[in-house]
Structure 1
């Protein structure tokens, strides 16, 4: 390979592999003066640095207090300095800082094939012929950037025996040769720096970064390439006397708009004697691995791993440190020796993030509340039915003429009321279909949230209790005396047309869903529709906030308002929309539009509390709306869906990389670097925001930023299975209560409720109730299984990146299969429990109660009027 091709390729790799970074390490610089009498170490200053992502080792992590106070500065007043804490001395070691061998200034000879530092005898210009040592053993090497990759420099330093390498940014690393074989071709053979990546000429605003100057080209040397020793001083500094040609015409403008104090020649000639020069960027970068692009023929997987720390310095601090090293070496002589000693250490960061626990709790809560609300119609139906029973509107009795069959009253066994008939007073044309009008149980999440759950299936309050000391039996006899004979309804019918506004999913929907997800992801990233998705998600969020949050909250508030205010809120302003609807819609839309504005105006909106808080609220509302709006009548469909999703993740994580290879992510890294330099650019707004369909929680007290997130798909897909168990448990409880109400004795409704409650009192009662909720039935155990699977995923994700469904799917499926086999109900769960069909009919019956109550009232009024007339 030609040297020019190697140089060009290496510099291209550097432009991709160097990611913009925040300071992740510190270097305390100390001046050591050694004489025959004593050694004096004096703290000089602290430098910020960025770590690489290819080094196998890192400096020791500093204690938290060292974030504010340098670790080794005895004059800082800190009682925790190295001299005060012997434990620190053994952990935070100091190292002598040296420059590379003069024969290999950039540590690139090995990558260029000119040296082999594994063979000391073949490199006499570096290694001592007697001792076989390079003189770099146990030290840190300060190396300039350029000519080869970061990893190649670090590997060469390691082979020289160094304990670490510090790479400093330089102006000359931004230049290169188009073709080194041409020889002395002057300016025509120079590969110039890139605009907006390496420099900025014109600031977009008065207070922004950027400066442009016209400099005398005859003052520079290009023989055959960019001569850094001569040219760099002409483009560096703020003092005219020091020779910075950029600030000759406008020194104030240069100092105001070029804080890096350095310029880069752009290659654009102006006339015969002038060339454009612009202000250079000087940012820290996180150095990445070079893979197989290091210039040698050794495959990346066979390369010697870099095990020493590798740190990166900006031009300003790197030049400052380099000049100090040169000065100390020049001042050494006689009996006095001076050298630079450094104490490198990582910037403090938390070992564990509180946000991970918060994300776990938020996701578990989202699953629990969504699935709990999906079964709310069964609980509210018992309230309505129990009230109707006490009023004599509904009568339950045994069917058939044979002997009464005993029913089990244990928690694990439920009589499914095979021989129970339902009699409805004064109903000549009962149709078990969805009824328009008065309905007490709706699948609308707003009404579901508005209805009272009262802590579970077994402890619901019952409205319409007897008053004035009148017993249930007396009220029933009086009611039935005035009504036509009730008409029985067979609960064993196979019809399930009580399904109100729900959408039942089938097995083929699972395949369709996964195909749609893959297609959506492809379209999203191929056409770069992230901003459009954010806007659509926000507008949809306005609707879910209205339906799931604001409508129920305002409904709860209505009884506390005056009749006049309630009347105004019910006024229709447009078609069927009332002022109540308008208020809730405006509230949801205002919050959603503000969320969109923050997301599209910030490079990293996750740093804004409003953005991530509202995103999580909307995500939970989406989960409630979706899970509550889907009718899962058996465990087969959600199980198939989880199986498909699980194997898709297995293919995506383990098989696809083998078939398609992995991406270096260079374009994304370049985009991040660009947006950190130009946060106001339109393409950078929301560039670092997570995709909106996730639950996210930012890392707190962590300089690295970032956030924990889990996809809403990882909530909804397991949620469909858990929703089925919640509905099944609630349906069983409803049918169990109805089964106990036969040929109604006195206080039968209260007895049916008491049969499912615990008689213990105080703390023991609450513990028993909690134990029953968590371990009885299926909903509690499946929720615990989800929490366990999600916790496992969060722990594993601290060390590797994997999809959550790799853990959620098998744990949830194993939990329900195990419980189904143990309770001998797996076949029924897979095909669809009959108790769900019966409970669906009872929902339909409950929806008819208001109209039947009105008919009873009219009939009673008619009987009373007839009795009065006869009298």
Structure 2
């Protein structure tokens, strides 16, 4: 099952963390940018503009901006220019604070975390106004003792307990390596020695959620949240001008270009390799034609052996299968069923295991085995061809080269799978790099084994995949409430637990970040604080690649038959393969651009099918070859016969072979049309 989808999704963002998307730049040479989390209510900050606001504080009688919205605004002299309120969290909703700030004329609100408010979390308004502490911070919500803990004599503590005067007394706790906030709070727990327990305070960004109990329109000013440590860093320099803006991101990420280039490279190389038998036969025929039949010695036993070995070394040699219209229909049905099974059932772990197993074998066959054969030919290590064992199940004799290649391939597969088990595996270089190599090997092996016999089957297959792709990306949300293709390709639904809980305790149920299914190419985004990856499904390689492979073999077949007939090739007439490759590159780039324009994942076959299938149909019609190519080019059958003769060691010059072929053909079938016989080799 191949997923036909081009995506740019934020797969590297740990869902267990709240991502600050805003930066506040204090206009002070000694201050660095402060990253803040944006509110879910009110307007968003513009991406291409910034707010330059004077910092200010609410009046002392409304310091937290929790007074009633009906209360008058008093005791406040606003700055002469636009300003932003810096206010502590607590005692009322975030949206209420923003609404109250609007009444004061503020242009933005910066809410900061505050240990003081942790002590008033359950206090009534009268208790707060009376200066009473009715509760201590809440475990797991406000602090975590496993990150840092100490016990301090209660008599030595300053009151109120949130006073910064206690910081030195809490040093044993706050200096713990696990205490990322570098600050601790009193928990209210007192032991038998009358010592107060103090634990590491949580000081994280948090989302400013709207107040769903309110029916009034949202505030018209932006609101952001910063941590207590961020506020402490800038507080000594206040008041000053704050530049509030969206954190910069590249409009077009370089990874999008890289995934496009990699996809084009894999499609072209895999398609070209699928015609390696014909290419080698053409090369041998050209050599014989140059030498001439008179000077050509009879083939020796060693040369026959090398020729046979060359064919056996081809990827997928002896295992090729030509598709039919029934296969294309079966693809559509099985792909749809498999996609729906993955959509409803959580079996991603099984798919990952199967993919690792299959890719290990592909890596051995496509890369490792040919590499060692090359080493053997350069070094003369003939002992690698010695039989070391015989395996059952019709596997037969295995050489040292076979065993070594297989062991290394599956060793790499196990390494990749170990990383696949990790949370957010796509952030590891070794994981996505090996995954891209696996994808290259799978595409190469697939196109070397599976072949299209005619343009008719190619059209049926690609049009079916075209409809399938569009349905499961664009139409499925109407039926299933979300895109089936995107949901499956990205690994299913994301975390269901509060992001704040997940950031503190990522192992909590419902916090796991789903890894995408591995049947795709992945390149992480570059210089993007949001992380993420550019993704390209393998189906977007192999399905158009089948047509590219067909075009490549058609061009090579024309050249081989033409040369065997003793004809000169016309360099002014080009083949199909080059133009289909160009069409593929254009279509994939169109899909890439559409992702940015529409800001959503795209079914790449929506663009690839017209740009590849349309090209070969248009060219064949223009050359008068459409009927022959559509039904199945006769030249490909002739090329296969010549290939069998050459690889089987049949001697004779090209002209003699042409004569023999001519005797076997009916009148009018021996020679090809001028367009076919004069095509260039691609």
TM-score category by the smaller chain? 0.7 to 0.9
Closer/same/farther in 2, CA of residues 528 and 515 from structure 1, 3 Å limit: closer
Match of residue 25 from structure 1? 23
1:638-717 equivalence runs, <5 A: 638-661=458-481, 668=495, 687=513, 690-717=516-543
* 2:229 is the alignment partner of 1:316: yes
Aligned-partner Cα distance in 1 for 2:36–2:260: 31
Q: Are the structure 2 counterparts of residues 516 and 667 from structure 1 closer, same or farther at C-alpha, using a change threshold of 3 Å?
A: closer
User: Does the Cα contact within 8 Å between 2:149 and 2:172 map onto a contact in 1?
Assistant: no
User: Whole-Å Cα distance in 1 between the matches of residues 254 and 94 of structure 2?
Assistant: 35
Are 2:158 and 1:211 equivalent residues in the alignment? no
Aligned match of 1:518: 339
The aligned residue for residue 166 of structure 1 is: 110
Q: Secondary structure at the match of 1:46?
A: coil
Q: Distance in 1 between matches of 2:469 and 2:330?
A: 18
Task: Name the structure 1 match of 2:661.
Answer: none
**Aligned twin of 1:585:** 406
Measured in 2, the distance between the counterparts of 1:607 and 1:689 equals: 10
Matches within 5 A, 1:63-212: 94-100=52-58, 115=69, 125-126=72-73, 138-146=82-90, 157=101, 161-171=105-115, 193=138, 195=140, 199-202=143-146, 209-211=147-149
- The 1:613/1:156 distance shift into structure 2, 3 A limit, reads farther
Counterpart for residue 371 of structure 1 = 271
Q: CA separation in 1, counterparts of 2:24 and 2:438?
A: 41
Deviation digits for residues 826-857 of structure 1 (CA, Å, limit 9, x no counterpart): 4444443333343344444444336999xxxx
Q: Report the Cα offset of residue 357 of structure 1.
A: 1.9
Instruction: Give 1:778 deviation, angstroms.
Output: 2.5
Q: Deviations over 1:595-634 (max 9, x none)?
A: 3344445x55545443333222221111111122112112
1:839 matched to 2:635? The reply is no
How big is the alpha-carbon RMSD for the aligned residues of Structure 1 and Structure 2?
5.1
SS in 2 for 1:165: strand
Partner of 1:48: 34
Displacement of 1:707: 2.8
Equivalence for 1:281: 202
**Structure 2 residue 576 is the aligned partner of structure 1 residue 756:** no
CA distance in 1, matches of 2:553, 2:545: 12
Distance 1:352 1:233, change over 3 A: same
Matched with 2:7 is none
What is the CA–CA distance in structure 1 between the aligned matches of 2:562 and 2:479, rounded to whole Å? 55
Using the alignment, how far apart are the partners of 2:253 and 2:351 within structure 1? Answer: 29
Kept in 2: contact 1:47–1:317 (CA 8 A): no
Give TM-score, length-normalised by structure 2. 0.72
Q: TM-score, normalised by structure 1?
A: 0.58
Query: Structure 1 residue 233 and structure 2 residue 163: aligned?
Result: yes
Q: Is the 8 A contact 1:546 1:587 kept in 2?
A: yes
Counterpart residue number, 1:252: 172
- Highest CA radius of gyration, 1 or 2? 1
Unaligned runs of 5+ in 1: 1-15, 31-42, 62-90, 116-122, 203-208, 221-228, 241-246, 326-338, 394-424, 426-435, 449-498, 742-751, 759-767, 854-871
**Residue 819 of structure 1, CA deviation:** 3.2
* Aligned residue in 2 for 1:70: none
Q: 1:735 to 1:137 in 2, by over 3 A?
A: same
Q: Would you say the 8 A contact 2:495–2:513 is kept in 1? A: no
Q: Which consecutive unaligned segments of at least 5 residues does structure 2 have?
A: 1-13, 300-304, 391-396, 654-682
- Distance in 2 between residues matched to 1:660 and 1:191, nearest whole Å: 47
When the two structures are aligned, how many residues end up with a matched partner?
Answer: 608
Partner of 2:664: none
Change (3 A) 1:516 1:722: farther
| 1:312-711 matches, cutoff 5 A | 312-319=225-232, 321=234, 339-344=239-244, 349-383=249-283, 439=308, 442=311, 445-446=314-315, 500-502=319-321, 504-505=323-324, 506-519=327-340, 521-522=342-343, 526-527=345-346, 529-530=348-349, 533-562=351-380, 565-566=381-382, 568-575=383-390, 576-600=397-421, 603-661=423-481, 668=495, 687=513, 690-711=516-537
Q: Given that residues 137 and 143 in structure 2 are in contact (C-alpha distance below 8 angstroms), is that contact kept between their aligned partners in structure 1?
A: no
Q: Does 1:295 align with 2:213?
A: yes
